[in-house]
Amino acid sequence: MNDDEMSITWNKFRSELLNYIKKKIQNEADAEDILQEVFIKMYVNFEQLEHHEKLRSWLYKITNNAIIDFVRKKKDSTIPLEKVENLSMTPQELSNMNDEMLACLSSILSELPEKYRIPLEMHDLKGMKHKEIADLLDISLSGSKTRIQRAKEKLRKVMTDCCEFEFDVYGNILDYRRHDQNKDCNSDC
């Protein structure tokens, strides 16, 4: 990418990224410093970006990491790390990653045995309590908890067998790469 293309790309995202930083860091000068760090990292590492269609999520990942680094480095900080407003990225900031993962998880979830799928859907998708699930399915409270735990283990195994995931410090999925050789992968992922 030449300097003109880099400038166009930066101008496209600059104010959006600055607004995101300002939501996390109240001091305007600090926010500008972080934005400058983001630009430097983008400029230096742009050639390493393999999938240019993921540029937006890549820039937000860099920005999020720069905010975290800033808070950690600031020794006399009036902003303790635990006080920084939720640093995880919103669905808009993750571009289409959430939609991709939702489609993949939905497909894999439908393949789980009903014994595990139904309690998991009731708990995680409908927000039901274990007691409600146990009563509706006529199982014990511990049975509800066990089935949900096993369902999550099965989902995790299918997902990690299929793909390699990159997480942020909060456990949010930032990126994933499919293991091409794995024929057991769901084609929707």
What pLDDT score does 56 carry? 84
Q: Which residues pair with 176 in a beta bridge?
A: 165
> Range(s) for CATH 1.10.10.10 in the chain?
97-178
pLDDT-based confidence at 142, cuts 50/70/90? very high
Write out the residue limits of the CATH 1.10.1740.10 domain(s) in the chain: 3-83
54 and 46 Cβ atoms separated by less than 8 Å: no
Instruction: For residue 137, give both structure tokens.
Output: 């399915």
Specify which residues 45 forms β-bridges with.
none
Is the pTM higher than 0.75? The answer reads no
DSSP-derived pairing of the beta strands 163-167 and 173-178:
antiparallel
d(CA 17, CA 39): 10
How many angstroms separate the CA atoms of 189 and 187, rounded?
Answer: 5
pLDDT for the residue numbered 164:
78
Instruction: Tell me which fold the domain 97-178 belongs to.
Output: Arc Repressor Mutant, subunit A (1.10.10)
Give the pLDDT of residue 96: 41
Q: 102 is written with which tokens? A: 């939702």
What's the start-to-end Cα distance of the chain, in Å? 30
Query: Does 181 have pLDDT greater than 70?
Result: no
pLDDT at site 173:
64
pLDDT in tens, 28-44: 888 999 999 998 888 88
For the domain spanning 3-83, the CATH number is 1.10.1740.10
